[in-house]
Every structure is written in C-alpha cells, then in structure tokens.
Amino acid sequence: MNDRKAKGPRTIALVGPYSAGKSSLLESILFVTGAIGRKGKPGESAMVADSAPDARERQMSTELSVATAPYLDDSFTFLDCPGSIEFLQETMNALVGADAAVVVCEPDAAKALVLSPILHYLAEKGIPHLIFVNKIDKASGPVRDLLPSLQEVSAKPLVLRQVPIREGETVTGYVDLASERAYVYRDNAASERIELPASMTEREASARYEMLEKLADFDEQLMETLLEEKTPAPERIFADLADDLRQCLIVPVLLGSAITDHGVRRLLKALRHEVPAAAVTAARAGVPQAGPGECIAQVLKTYHTAQSGKLSLARIWGGAVKDGAILNGERVGGLFRMKGAEAQKIAEAQAGEVVAFGRLEKTETGATLGNAREPVAPLPRAERLKPVYALAVTSKNRNDEVKLSGALAKICEEDPSLHFEQNQATREFLLSGQGDIHLKVAFARLRHKFGLELEGHRPKIAYREAIRHGTKQHGRFKRQSGGHGQFGDVHIEIKPLPRGEGFRFENRIVGGVVPKQFIPAVEDGVREYLQEGPLGFPVVDVAVALYDGSYHTVDSSELAFKTAARLAMSEGMPKCDPVLLEPIGRIEVMAPSEHTSKVNSLLTGRRGQILGFDAREGWPGWDCVSAYLPETELADLIVELRSLTQGVGTFVYGFDHLQELSGRLADEIVAKFGRGAHQERKVSNL
C-alpha cells in the first residue's frame, strides 16, 4: 500500500495463553527478519525472550520480553508477553503501548476457552488484534472445526484469512484468501507460490466468500458488489481488512508454526500492511499532540537490571527523545533499544518507538512522561489487578530484614500486580499476587537480584472473640508491704454488644467512691485485658461499666486500679460464655457458565454460603457467583478454582463481617492459635 512508508515504527504485543508459542514466535520473527542468525529454544540461553533466570528455570515466560527488528523498510517492536494467567498484569501493561496484538493459540478446539479472558480484554479496550493459530505443524483436526470454538470466545467476528493445504495429516502450505494465491511451505525459506491445487478450488471459494461476507457487514458497497455477484477489487478487500482491524471490528485469523517458521512471513506482511501507525494508536489512546520540541511517552514496564540499573521501557507517543533529556524533571541516563537482555545504546529515539530510558528513579510503570514545562496530564494506564493469593513472608536471615523492604518495593515496582504490606491485625508482612507461581517467581527474583532468601507461609487469620452473656464482677487489688501499700477496688458490669459495635466503656460512679483521677486507669486495665480474652484472641463487641468501688487515701494509685480492673475482667469474662469470631468475606467468583455448578460446590465445600448467581456483566457465557466465605478458606482457593475452570476462573474478595464459630472447628482453632497455643508458649518459655 502507498501509505506504508508513512506508518513509522510500530509495536506489536504477542499475547495468548500459556505455552501457545509466543516466545518461539518472537524467535522465529527475529530469525526470518535477520535480526538473529540462529534460533534458540525455550529454556536455552540462546533464546532472545525469557532471559531472566526464573524464566529459564521454569521454561516459561515470567515477564515481558522486548525486541525490535526491522522488516523490509519498517521497524517493529515486539512485546512478548507471558501467557500464564498469573502474569496477566504484564500483558495489560504492555498492551497500553501496542498498535495491535497477535493472539497466539494452539490448533486445539479443547483449549479455546483459555483464550476467553484475553480476547475479552482486547475487545473491551478496542485494541486491534489478530489470531495466529500456531503449531500448525502438529494440528490434528481441520482448521474449519477449530474456528467455531474460537468464535465462541470472541465477541468480535473472526475472519479466516488462510486455508491450509494438506498432504494427508500434514499441513504443507496454504491459500491466501485475500490474494487467492496458493503457497507451499519451504524449510528455512519463504513459502513458494504454486498453482491453486484443483482439489482446493471449492474449499477456497467458499472460505473466501465467507471472508468477504464478513467484511461486507461493515462495507455496504462491498455488500452490493457481492449481491450483484460481481468480483470485488483486490484494493477494496485490502483496504477493508486494514480498516476493520484498525477499528477492532474483525479479528483476522492466520496460520503457521513458530518452530518451522511456516506462515511467519505471511503474518509479518499482514502486520506491515494492516496494523495502524503509532499516531493512530496515540489518537485512540487520547494522547495529546506534542508541541514543537516536546515529547510525550508512557512507561510500559520497569526492569531493575544488574548492568544498567533501573530501565523504564516506554512507548514514545509524540516527539523525539535524546539521551540526557529531562523527562518529568529527571534526566534520562542512557537510551536503549532492546533485543531481549541486550540493550543497544542509542542517542535518540523517534515517535512510535519503544525504547528503554535509564535511571529514571522516580518513574513508575504506567507513568506518562514529558519534557514540557507544564507537567503532562497522565494518560490512562492498565488497571492494577487485585490479589487472589497471599503469603506471609519472613527473611531466612534476620540481618536481611532491613534490605527486604527496599527489595520488595523494587519488585513490586517491576510488577504492579504484586502487593506488599503489613497486616495491621496480625502484624505479619504479606506478599500477595496472582497465584502460587507468581509469588514463587517473586521469591526467585529476590534471590537472583538481591541475594535475599525468603520464606513464605500461610497468613495468620485475624480471629476475634466476643461474649454471649453479661455479668457483674468485683475486682480488688491489695498489697501491704512495709510502708506504702497498693489498693484498688472496682465493681464492673460486662455486657455483650451487637456485632460490629467494638468496645464501649462507661463510668457510672456517683459520689466519688472511685476518685475521678483513677477512672482512666480502670479503662486502661479493661482495654489491656481485652487484647487477649479467655480464648486467647482480642475481644470485640463488649461494653464494660464501672459502677462501684472503693479507695484508700494513701495506698490507692493508678496502677492499683488498673490491676484491679484487669483482675475483675479476667475473673468475669470466662463466665460470659465467650465465643470465637472468624472473619468472613464476600466473594464474587467469575467463571464460564459451564463451570458454575462446580464453583458452587467448591464454595459450599469450603463452608461458603451462596448468596446467588448472575450472568457476568459484559461477559456473554460467563456467570458470577456471590457468596460469603470464611477468610481461612481463601488461602489456596484460586489454585483449585483454576484447576476446575481450565485456568480462567477468577474472583474478587473483601472482608465483610465477623461471624461466631463454635464446635469442633472452633476448639481446634483455639487449641492451635488461641489460648492453647499461648499456654504452650508460656510453658516452653519457663
């Protein structure tokens, strides 16, 4: 197309489910474009993607890999995203800067559901995307059978662009439905054009007609041409394909194999012709025009590297950036074009490019950067995923504790779906994220990058206790030891309060039987006791009234009254029928409808109380189940939910209320975490 030259550097995100072959596709693209001389395999150090030790160890992508390659007269940057749902945040962050996404998938109808979350996300955000059906070298069934399953999980119409040519079970080439040309795959070379095999004519004609019909849904003139049974002009078809992709009206489907490089050049050609220019994407993202001499960029990813320190990978939306430029008040300390772990130093980068800025210490992922006098208005960034899995963490070496919070801040900066905080109730440090592997990779990063060894364990649950009845109690503290004695004497009334009311103290003393100055000490004594009630947990929802007492003019003191109050509480509270309270949260579980009954039994099996279910808003074919679920049942819920739902189920959870728990389970909790455990500790401390 004539406008090709004007398109400038473009950025393509390689997305899709775990192990579909995205990193292999990147390798293949770099190889066929001549950016690398030989290909590496997943897990090998020769491979451009996945250079991090944790990725190599697991032979999976654990963070974004980036490589820029020239193709003909265009420059493309590929953002190879990890496929595991636990690293979805990386994909979301990368997509902020992509002109289009290639959704890589396997030729297996049974795995189509796994594409559902990413296809939904792309459609919702209006990000142009196409599907590359990879591993065609080992496809067992016809592509025509795969398409309906893929269509079921895509809100946008899929447009098959190629039909495979087969010899027996093997795909040996393809017919391009737009140009109506047939090709056979060649090893280590571009596909070779052949005559359209006679056996394919019928299949080709019907597939092409299907493609044209879909395009005609968005092009009235094409519709008329088809109705008049005329042949549309090739330029019209090519223009429609590009326009419809740009507007995210259709999802083109291409075929190939990253391992054999088959279909990869065809994919690149489609990208070259059809993917919109950076300026078009910038307009879609609402990026303001950069004025003369100004630039505007957005950070897609932050890396902390051993060699170059902090790198902020950014898309330049407008203007040019030179090394040493001042962006948001910070000096760019090195400008790099990336090819996996290799950072090539450059002096200047242009609008549309994705490059890494060195040493922008205050800049975080998603930040909008500019060099204008006035700070730039922040562009929308990907939302931050809420955690679904948490571990309490401690460092193996006590001396590392100071280093720990700085290192954790850095890895949370690299990956905004990691959260680190101290739980106020249990005082534990919690690292939370998207699943077990996500946190294990975070541990590995802390080890590799900062030499920190962390231990993770199940977080403590903030159990509480309350009382069911009230009582009146006398407490007296009296000591006579030589000169000055101790004397405090109180009568208190203890009463339960409704759930959620907390603690209330009431002073009902009349006539000064307990002098005013000692009343706060009584309250202190009561509060101190309530830190650890009869079952060994903090007490909530209780009212204590001081209604009588006596004092001694010389021997009474604040300490004596405080002690008397504590004594009264420790004698009175066990008589009030104490009961354990466990935290209950409200959970909304989202999963495809075919799995709803499994979700229900998963929740009820974990003492959940189902509140109802509904269609998930904006997600055809999905349900959302609401329930109350004890916090203790949440620990590994995501692991089981994923295994029941082909990995796509997810949830949001938030604390809702405290609920009484009695019986065997309550006794076990008290023995393990409450009074039982405290007594054991006291004995072992003797």
Enumerate residues 6+ apart whose C-beta is below 8 A from 477. Answer: 486, 487, 488, 489, 560, 561, 563, 564, 567
Residue among 606, 510, 519 at smallest CA distance from 562: 519
Residue with smaller CB distance to ligand GTP, 33 or 368: 33
| Interface characters, 611-630, with ligand GTP (x: CB under 6 A) | --------------------
Residue among 645, 614, 661, 608 at smallest CA distance from 630: 608
Write down the least CB distance from residue 168 to ligand GTP, Å.
17
Measured between alpha carbons, how far is 256 from 240 in angstroms, rounded to an integer? 23
Please select the residue that binds Mg ion; options are 33, 61, 191, 432, rule is CB under 5 A. Answer: 61
* The two structure tokens encoding residue 526: 């009561």
Measured between alpha carbons, how far is 450 from 408 in angstroms, rounded to an integer? 10
Enumerate residues 6+ apart whose C-beta is below 8 A from 642. Answer: 85, 435, 648, 649
19 binds Mg ion per the rule CB under 5 A = no
Measured between alpha carbons, how far is 141 from 134 in angstroms, rounded to an integer? 13
Write down the least CB distance from residue 141 to ligand GTP, Å.
15
Residue among 296, 308, 361, 365 at smallest CA distance from 338: 308
Residue 567 contact partner, candidates Mg ion, ligand GTP, none, CB within 5 to 8 A by sort of partner: none
Residue with smaller CB distance to Mg ion, 240 or 261: 261
Stretch of residues binding Mg ion (CB under 5 A), selected from 55-63, 173-181, 281-289, 430-438: 55-63
Residue 122 contact partner, candidates Mg ion, ligand GTP, none, CB within 5 to 8 A by sort of partner: none
Write down the least CB distance from residue 140 to ligand GTP, Å.
12
Stretch of residues binding ligand GTP (CB under 6 A), selected from 18-26, 230-238, 508-516, 662-670: 18-26
21 binds ligand GTP per the rule CB under 6 A = yes
Residue with smaller CB distance to ligand GTP, 41 or 322: 41
| Cα–Cα separations (whole angstroms), residue 555 to 435, 483, 567 | 60, 9, 18
88 binds ligand GTP per the rule CB under 6 A = no
Residue with smaller CB distance to ligand GTP, 43 or 309: 43
Residue with smaller CB distance to ligand GTP, 20 or 271: 20
Please select the residue that binds ligand GTP; options are 9, 10, 19, 551, rule is CB under 6 A. Answer: 19
Residue with smaller CB distance to ligand GTP, 48 or 212: 48
Residue type, 127: I
Residue 258 contact partner, candidates ligand GTP, Mg ion, none, CB within 5 to 8 A by sort of partner: ligand GTP
Write down the least CB distance from residue 111 to ligand GTP, Å.
12
23 binds Mg ion per the rule CB under 5 A = yes
* The two structure tokens encoding residue 246: 């740009």
Site size toward ligand GTP (CB under 6 A) is 22
Residue with smaller CB distance to ligand GTP, 137 or 243: 137
Residue 135 contact partner, candidates ligand GTP, Mg ion, none, CB within 5 to 8 A by sort of partner: ligand GTP
Measured between alpha carbons, how far is 160 from 551 in angstroms, rounded to an integer? 91
Please select the residue that binds ligand GTP; options are 12, 15, 24, 420, rule is CB under 6 A. Answer: 24
Please select the residue that binds ligand GTP; options are 22, 310, 339, 562, rule is CB under 6 A. Answer: 22
Please select the residue that binds Mg ion; options are 7, 10, 13, 22, rule is CB under 5 A. Answer: 22
DSSP string, 350-377: -TT-EEEEE--TT--TT-EEE-SSSPPP
Write down the least CB distance from residue 76 to ligand GTP, Å.
18
Gap between the terminal Cα atoms of the chain = 85
23 binds ligand GTP per the rule CB under 6 A = yes
Residue 490 · residue 475 · CB < 8 Å? yes
Stretch of residues binding ligand GTP (CB under 6 A), selected from 82-90, 288-296, 442-450, 579-587: 82-90
Residue with smaller CB distance to ligand GTP, 42 or 488: 42
Measured between alpha carbons, how far is 311 from 414 in angstroms, rounded to an integer? 10
Measured between alpha carbons, how far is 387 from 211 in angstroms, rounded to an integer? 41
Residue 134 contact partner, candidates ligand GTP, Mg ion, none, CB within 5 to 8 A by sort of partner: ligand GTP
Residue 242 contact partner, candidates ligand GTP, Mg ion, none, CB within 5 to 8 A by sort of partner: none
Enumerate residues 6+ apart whose C-beta is below 8 A from 492. Answer: 472, 473, 475, 522, 526, 544, 545, 546, 547, 565, 568, 569, 572
Own/partner pairs for 151-154, CB < 8 Å, 24+ apart? 152/112, 152/621, 153/112, 153/113, 153/115, 153/116, 153/119, 153/120, 153/621, 154/115, 154/119, 154/123, 154/251
Write down the least CB distance from residue 68 to Mg ion, Å.
17
Residue type, 599: V
User: CA geometry: angle at 21 spanning 19 and 27, to 5°?
Assistant: 135
- Shortest Cβ contact with ligand GTP: which residue? 83
161 binds ligand GTP per the rule CB under 6 A = no
Site size toward Mg ion (CB under 5 A) is 3
61 binds ligand GTP per the rule CB under 6 A = yes
What residues from 211 to 270 belong to the interface with ligand GTP (CB under 6 A)? Answer: 257-259
Residue 15 · residue 118 · CB < 8 Å? yes
Write down the least CB distance from residue 27 to Mg ion, Å.
10
In DSSP terms, 47 is beta-bridged to none
* The two structure tokens encoding residue 658: 């405290």
Residue 19 contact partner, candidates Mg ion, ligand GTP, none, CB within 5 to 8 A by sort of partner: ligand GTP
Please select the residue that binds ligand GTP; options are 9, 83, 387, 585, rule is CB under 6 A. Answer: 83
Residue 611 · residue 628 · CB < 8 Å? yes
Stretch of residues binding Mg ion (CB under 5 A), selected from 19-27, 216-224, 430-438, 502-510: 19-27
Measured between alpha carbons, how far is 369 from 299 in angstroms, rounded to an integer? 8
What residues from 113 to 142 belong to the interface with ligand GTP (CB under 6 A)? Answer: 134-135, 137-138
Torsion of CA 401, 402, 403, 407, to 10 degrees: 90
Positions touching ligand GTP (CB under 6 A) are 18-24, 41-42, 60-61, 82-84, 104, 134-135, 137-138, 257-259
Positions touching Mg ion (CB under 5 A) are 22-23, 61
